A and B are shown apart, each in its own frame.
Chain A
Amino acid sequence: MAHTTEPTPVVRALYHDDDVLISAVKEIRAAGYKITEVYTPFPVHGLDKAMGLKETRIAMAAFMYGLLGLTVAVTLTWYMMISDWPQNIGGKPNYNWGMNMPAFVPILFELTVFFAAHLMVWTYLVINGLYPGADAQNPDPRTTDDYFMVELPAADGLMDVLKKSGAVEIAEA
């Protein structure tokens, strides 16, 4: 069992069912305790609301990245086809970017998607602290299989609340 050593002792309660987990989280918070983290083997729907997590804004980031990609594409095509060395290619008009633009649509689209997708995933990995070879973030390996763990700072009366909430195992560290 991987135990992390922290200054303030934390309590880890394990649950064996996601529905129980949700209700437990609600009860604990109702009892006024602050939950630091919950580890689950799969995305438990409604958990973020129960924990009162804020909406993620990663989608907005993706949109920005997309715009960036589009800009890059426009610059690329303009510089290479119109500005740097305009050539008569099959008689197509290349006096300005607009006249040649229809031929660039596929490029514009692809680069937009490319930038949006890749930069978003990079962001995702970074903000979640995920990188090759990183140590496992979950204290208990069972939480990637079929256990659900609530982690919160130790406090008086907490145990009863946790027991009542249906925890199958409670550990203090």
Chain B
Amino acid sequence: MHYESPVRQPLILGDKSYNQITEDVVRPIENPAPRSWWMVFSIALVMFLWGVGCLAYTVGTGIGVWGLNKTVGWAWDITNFVWWVGIGHAGTLISAVLLLFRQRWRMAINRSAEAMTIFSVIQAGLFPVFHMGRVWMAYWVLPIPNQFGSLWVNFNSPLLWDVFAISTYLSVSVVFWYVGLIPDFAMVRDRAVNPVQKHIYKILSFGWGGKAKAWQRFEEVSLVLAGLATPLVLSVHTIVSMDFATSVIPGWHTTIFPPYFVAGAIFSGFAMVQSLLLIVRKVFKMEDYITVQHIEMMNIVIMVTGSIVGVAYITELFIAWYSGVEYEQYAFLNRATGPYWWAYWSMMTCNVFSPQFMWFKKLRTNLVFTFVISIVVNIGMWFERFVIIVTSLHRDYLPSSWSMFSPSFVDVGIFVGTIGFFFVLFLLYARTFPVIAQAELKTILKTSGEAQKKHHSDHGAHH
């Protein structure tokens, strides 16, 4: 039996029993949704439907309804794609990497973090599909024989790598998530009184019974999946960054992109998890599980990754200057001082400067401040992608082709729509799924529960 020093902060507050945990976790599922939930949900639903409308308009009329032009062929579409994928990363990271590192504090948050991963990767996936001029031909990116004879996909194309990376990432995240959910569904099933509910959770729980051998395999599978998901999560954003890194466009053609994108992804991902959890913990009264310590931990991660991103920005500038390449030098000068200087400096402020506040314990343990920063960071990371994509494209090699970009209402509508879609999914999840991996959490109750720790320190550890 693992022993934890009393010096460590307890991860579960209050005097909790196993049953107590169960009760807390199922409360949102068994009780009717509060009015606040319905309000937020209906807002999200409206946004989502608006986005659907804009997508329909695009598919019906043509990509021309966006703000793009002959020089800027990608703008909000791919910006949003990279942004959502980035956000997705934190989930896998929290559940996989922290599991490998035996970080117990992850247990309270990994379920929601993974849910966020899956929902945001779904949003991300929408953009590469709908940015196609002929979306009805989208299935041509799959390596399948077709009516035109043996026309195959082009495995040299980073866009095709994306297809494989994103689909692998999404599907693996889903199974990883679900494997963890099965025992918790079983718990809900066994408590359910309403026959309909019981039946649904019976289906969802796959008949789980918590046999010793099953638990043994469960832990092994979780471990292996974590082992697979960790390089996967790193590879996904690496590959996304290769869309740009392998091109010839100044400002895209940059070897630093893979690590820089991954850091950025973790950065934005944690910020998003932060925003969501601060809401969840308040709305569902889970302060005892998602403690200030959790928040602080994540703030530290945000601060560190934010600084890494900052270093990447500076490195880019330096290399551009140092390379002595005419086009590179101009590309980066133009970013900071050209027509899109405002985007560049919003990015710098939000991503590099704002996280530095987290050096102060007072601030990183202040929930309101944390919430604000987490939003700011996500805005900043959106701008990072916008800066990389648009300001590199709009002025590349031949000045004769230089242009500008400004979004049409459809661009905006689709983006808003994905945000709506994301929250629709997340809110449904929050009311129907065990938002905390209670089975896992119970394993650490004795070692990291507040009361239990107190008990230990009073009577000393005797086993």
Contacts and interface: CB of A to CB of B under 8 A. Distances in A.
B211 A38 contact: yes
A93 B334 CA distance: 36
Interface string B160-203: 11001100100110011001001100110111000000000011
B175 A121 contact: yes
B218 interface: yes
Interface of B: 1-2, 17-19, 22, 143, 150-156, 160-161, 164-165, 168, 171-172, 175-176, 179, 182-183, 186-187, 189-191, 202-221, 223-225, 228-229, 231-232, 235, 239, 242, 438-440, 442-443, 446, 463
Interface string A123-156: 0110111111111111001111110000000000
Contact of B172 (A114, A130, A146): A114
Contacts of B239: 106, 110
A40 B209 CA distance: 8
A51 B1 contact: no
Contacts of B215: 40, 42-44, 47-48
Contacts of B224: 58-59, 62, 116, 120
Contacts of A124: 179, 217-218, 221
A104 B155 contact: yes
Given A40-B210, A59-B223, A110-B168, 20 more contacts: A19-B1, A37-B212, A38-B212, A44-B212, A45-B2, A45-B443, A53-B212, A59-B224, A85-B151, A109-B231, A120-B221, A121-B175, A121-B225, A125-B206, A135-B202, A136-B190, A137-B207, A137-B209, A138-B210, A146-B19
Interface of A: 18-19, 37-48, 51, 53, 56, 58-59, 62, 76-77, 80-81, 84-85, 89-90, 92, 100, 103-104, 106-107, 109-111, 113-114, 116-118, 120-121, 124-125, 127-138, 141-146
A109 B164 CA distance: 10
Nearest to A57: B220
Q: Is the interface of A mostly helix, strand, loop or mixed?
A: helix
A47 B1 CA distance: 11
B231 A113 contact: yes
Contacts of A104: 155
B264 to A, nearest CB: 19
A53 B217 CA distance: 11
B161 A107 contact: yes
A109 B165 CA distance: 9
B220 A114 contact: no
Contact of B165 (A40, A46, A110, A125): A110
Contacts of A58: 217, 220-221, 224
12 contacts: A41-B187, A42-B215, A43-B439, A48-B215, A56-B216, A80-B152, A103-B156, A110-B165, A118-B171, A125-B206, A133-B207, A146-B22
Contacts of A51: 212
Nearest to A69: B168
B164 A111 contact: yes
A124 B223 CA distance: 13
B206 A56 contact: no
Contacts of B190: 136, 138, 141-145
Contacts of A90: 156
A120 B43 CA distance: 40
A39 B161 contact: no
A41 B156 contact: no
